[in-house]
Structure 1
Amino acid sequence: MLPITTFKTVVASTPLISIDLIVRNNQKQVLLGLRNNQPAQGYWFVPGGRVRKDERLENAFRRLVSAELGSESEINNARFLGPYQHFYTDNFSDEDFSTHYVVLGYELTLNINLNDLPSDQHQDYRWFTVDELLASDQVHQHTKDYFFEL
């Protein structure tokens, strides 16, 4: 983990690489969490997180599924949706700089008990139909973007 001042410089100066997990259950509903943190704080968003330096994508995927969903899955069990770009005017701190992510979207099917999910990144979880999430003003546009191409 980088010291906070170094990480601020990285976020202010470079794009970050992340993996987003588009999780569906057997009813084809999509798992979204209500974000605790900036950017996208207060919006419903798919789970995911940053890829660490020197971390293989397969390992990042496995780590994020475990940390974000409390489950186990391998990257070859997911469907790669492609790269996406997420631009935010804010960042994780209160300082004035933007955040830019290059996001790798992966779709997978998992039946998850919402009560077992962690609360550090999301304060609430729920299953949405695609029509519900596309119609909601509380679902972030970057999450909606995953469903325009499916």
Structure 2
Amino acid sequence: MRLEMNTFKTVVASTPLVSIDLVIKNCDGQVLLGERTNRPAQGYWFVPGGRILKDETFDDAFKRMTGVELGVELSFSAALFLGPYEHHYSDNFSGDEFSTHYVVLGYEVVLDLELSELPSEQHKSYRWWDVDELLGSDLVHQNTKDYFGERTNQ
């Protein structure tokens, strides 16, 4: 269930959101990142993902999210649970008058995807990154780097 805009602003300003992030690796061990078009983390390279909707089961959320973010619906059986993460942003989807706080469930999936066929709603472009390259890049958001390095957000 999607909330009316003013109600959703109140929720984001008042509570943490629960989301799923998708660490997608191809058969060569490279990681799929997209350059974000929306706040928060706008302009950074980030793993695909999104929030769980009210009354949505984990499995339904995972299928919806992989369909929207990757163009292919997957179930939990295709994924490895990486653990819980916490993401804090000084801005939010509508501006910078309040912060955003996510409790994130990270999942890894091995999947070869054709970049040109990926949806462009949340990311203006995609590319495959070697892990060492993404860890060393200022273009990749720290919350994405945390999936590959020492857990600093727990």
- Into which bin does the TM-score normalised by the smaller protein fall? over 0.9
Aligned to 1:94: 95
Cα deviation for residue 73 of structure 1 reads: 1.4
Aligned to 1:31: 32
Aligned to 1:132: 133
Cα deviation for residue 94 of structure 1 reads: 2.1
Q: CA RMSD in A?
A: 1.1
After superposition, the Cα gap between the structure-2 partners of 1:95 and 1:142, relative to the gap in structure 1 and judged at 3 Å, is closer
**Structure 1 segments (4+ residues) deviating >4 Å:** none
Identity over aligned residues, as a percent? 63
User: SS at 2:18's partner residue?
Assistant: strand
User: Is the 8 Å Cα contact of residues 85 and 104 (structure 2) preserved in structure 1?
Assistant: yes
After TM superposition, the score normalised by the length of structure 1 is 0.98
CA distance in 2, matches of 1:74, 1:29: 21
User: SS at 2:73's partner residue?
Assistant: coil
Unaligned 5+ residue runs, structure 2? none
User: SS at 1:146's partner residue?
Assistant: coil
Aligned to 1:41: 42
Aligned to 1:5: 6
Amino acid at match of 1:82: G
User: SS at 1:27's partner residue?
Assistant: coil
After TM superposition, the score normalised by the length of structure 2 is 0.95
For residues 44-93 of structure 1, what are the alpha-carbon distances to aligned partners after superposition, in whole Å with 9 as ceiling and x for unaligned?
Answer: 00000000111110110011000000012111110000000000000001
Aligned to 1:53: 54
Count of matched residue positions in the alignment of Structure 1 and Structure 2:
150
Unaligned 5+ residue runs, structure 1? none
